[in-house]
Amino acid sequence: MSRVVPHSLFSDFDINLFKAGKHYRLYEKLGSHPIEVNGEKGTYFAVWAPSAKSVAVVGDFNYWLEGDHKLNVRWDESGIWEGFIPGVDVGTKYKYKIHSHNNDIMTEKADPFARLCETPPNTASVVWKADYKWKDKKWMGYRADKNGLDRPYSVYEVHLGSWRRREGNGFMSYTELADELVTYLKEMNFTHVEFMPIMEYPFDPSWGYQLTGYFAPTSRFGKPEEFKLLVDKLHQNDIGVILDWVPSHFPEDAHGLGFFDGSHLYEHPDRRRGYHPDWKSLIFNYGRNEVRAFLISNALFWLDQFHVDGLRVDAVASMLYLDYSREEGEWEPNMYGNNENLEAISFIRELNEEIYQSFKGVQTIAEESTAFSGVSRPVYLGGLGFGMKWMMGWMHDTLEYFKKEPIYRKHHQNDITFSMTYAFTENFMLPFSHDEVVYGKQSLLYRMPGDEWQRFANLRLLFGYMFTHPGTNLIFMGGEFGQSSEWNYQHSLDWHLVQYDLHSGVQQMVKDLNALYQGYPALYEKQFSTEGFQWIDYGDAENSVLTYIRKGHDEKNDLFIACNFTPVPRENYRMGIPKSGTLTEVFNSDLKKYGGSGMKNGKVKTSATPWHGRDQSVEITIPPLAVVVFQ
């Protein structure tokens, strides 16, 4: 095998951008790139390791011995080591053997920019070129309209390793999922799918939230081009793709980013800012230019190379606060004496500005659990610049309310109405995520009180209330058919349950709710505006009933919603209406096909009986533990 040939993909301009933290396409330069130099095929390698004394490429092409394949350090103090090795082809396994100036430490590290990694528990990087011919031109052309904040977002959250498994409990491949998952999402009328992290991760119980291969789709399910096929098929079926993305922390695995070149290269050197006590992981140094460029390049990589439509950014709260999950004395205030991580805030703003500037029709979504102000407001208005934020408070309050026996709910009416006091302070997405169905919390179905019928009626009511509440929606896989057991990442969902009427009924109702949400503009056109919602009556605690109006651009499309949170039917229930006419029931969670009791309204005419401060009113039936929607 030939020795290393001096070669570079970096211009002086690239290096200046990199040092300034403004090079947002580093994946085009760093890492391994199969190319041809002077008529000879091989691979160019480049790695950032400023504290290294020497860096060699070792792999199956040289028996993992550093010998002749030491990279050359650049003269410009960028800390980049690079070189071209003839004969190294696609499929070659490799690592970087790094000798450090610090205490002469020697480590073998996976390539931070590798496009493919060995399947865990193996840890080598693989030279790869994910050639793929995209067929989603149509989607990419109108994506900006599909993905706008005034469009429906009904998101199905998926863990690819456990959505459905093969016979014998083996993983399904990206290619198989491109048939089965896409067909299911289309059939269920979901508008988007959100994948829990698919970047390479070493430890299955982390569910993908402890990443080591930031630029590589996990090889558990196939090759990068096969993941592209999955995204492409979703787009061809008008389904948007959101990826979970984790810039908040990374694991200490020996082959990963930690202590990369014998120094604290990617992580903050101060343990109070560089280590997560909750997750026993390392925290990025957001104040270091090259680290910011690494992370922003990574976000853009998935949007650029994989045509992804959105990033849901994990654990944002842990990035924003220096005292996150720390006791007194375990953190140090910022220069102003408070607990905000100014470097992380600056990084997040820069990230969002670059994403929205570079890609038309994408969204970023923050999983942020505190009252930090302006998370989904533009940077130029002082916000963090996200498109949406998960409404964690709503999720918590709603589930707490629903677990109460209906007889006690009248004493907790404020718990279910409180969300409307802050519903429009951010662009909120309403999530029932994977975190709510693990670690002894039980499945959504088994958090509901009552006998079997009431449990299912409560679950149908929960989803009906969710879809008619302002904001976009996210349901974790399994919830849509009333999975009875907690989620287990090691096994398939309990698909056998859909043979039973009550489970298939919930599934049919979620399918119809998705269609309702997309078919009625009043549910999405002003989903983030106070103009899109109006109470009819939030004070009927005695009956545990809520009535409200959802509005779009045209008042002819207004929807009138009534929720009954008890198992007692509310017949001849009077509801104030702003004008005279006939109301038609367009959705009812109590239909027999959903497993309900079958109480219906059909059409109801208003009368000139003033009610709820309005000149007109109607008498309706609100079935037990149900939501009804009228137009």
Among residues 82, 194, 314, 397, the one annotated as catalytic is 314
Q: Is 415 a catalytic residue?
A: no
Cβ neighbours of 169 (radius 10 Å): 10
Give the span between the Cα atoms of 123 and 624, in whole angstroms: 55
What is the structure's pLDDT at 25?
Answer: 98
Is the CATH number 3.40.50.1100 carried by domain 532-630? no
Residues 553-579, mean pLDDT to the nearest whole number:
96
What does the buried/exposed string (b/e) look like for 391-412 if buried means 16 or more CB atoms within 10 Å of the residue's CB? bbbbbebbbebbeeebeebeeb
Among residues 82, 367, 436, 480, the one annotated as catalytic is 367
Q: Which residues are within 8 A (CB) of 37 and not within 5 positions of it... i.e. 6 or more apart?
A: 5, 7, 44, 84, 86
Residues 164-174, mean pLDDT to the nearest whole number:
95
What is the structure's pLDDT at 106?
Answer: 86
Give the span between the Cα atoms of 312 and 293, in whole angstroms: 19
Residues 230-245, mean pLDDT to the nearest whole number:
98
Q: Which residues are within 8 A (CB) of 472 and not within 5 positions of it... i.e. 6 or more apart?
A: 152, 153, 154, 155, 388, 428, 429, 430, 524, 527
CATH of 12-109, one of 3.30.43.10, 2.60.40.10, 3.30.40.10, 3.40.720.10: 2.60.40.10
Residues 136-164, mean pLDDT to the nearest whole number:
97
Domain at 151-208+237-523: CATH architecture: Alpha-Beta Barrel (3.20)
Instruction: Give pLDDT tens digits for 55-100.
Output: 999 999 999 998 889 999 999 999 999 999 999 999 999 999 999 9
What is the structure's pLDDT at 66?
Answer: 85
Residues 391-413, mean pLDDT to the nearest whole number:
97
Instruction: Tell me the pTM.
Output: 0.97
Residues 239-261, mean pLDDT to the nearest whole number:
97
Higher pLDDT, 297 or 277: 297
Residues 588-616, mean pLDDT to the nearest whole number:
96
Cβ pair 283, 248 in contact under 8 A:
yes
Q: Do domains 12-109 and 532-630 have the same CATH topology?
A: yes
Q: Which residue has the tokens 């059909």?
A: 602
Q: Is 367 a catalytic residue?
A: yes
For helices 12-20 and 289-305, angle between their N-to-C axes, nearest 10 degrees: 110
Sheet strands (E) in 372-412: 388-390
Confidence of residue 1 (pLDDT cuts 50, 70, 90): low
Residue length, the chain? 631
Chain Cα centroid distance, residue 291: 22
Confidence of residue 101 (pLDDT cuts 50, 70, 90): confident
Would you kindly state where each structural domain of the chain is located, as residue ranges? 12-109, 151-208+237-523, 532-630
Instruction: Give pLDDT tens digits for 370-383.
Output: 999 999 999 999 99
Cβ pair 126, 444 in contact under 8 A:
no
Strand order across the beta sheet in which 533-537 lies: 533-537, 545-550, 559-564, 626-630, 582-588, 603-605
Cβ pair 30, 48 in contact under 8 A:
yes
What is the structure's pLDDT at 188?
Answer: 98
Instruction: Give pLDDT tens digits for 102-116.
Output: 777 789 999 999 999
Residues 152-175, mean pLDDT to the nearest whole number:
96
Instruction: Give pLDDT tens digits for 460-514.
Output: 999 999 999 999 999 999 999 999 999 999 999 999 999 999 999 999 999 999 9
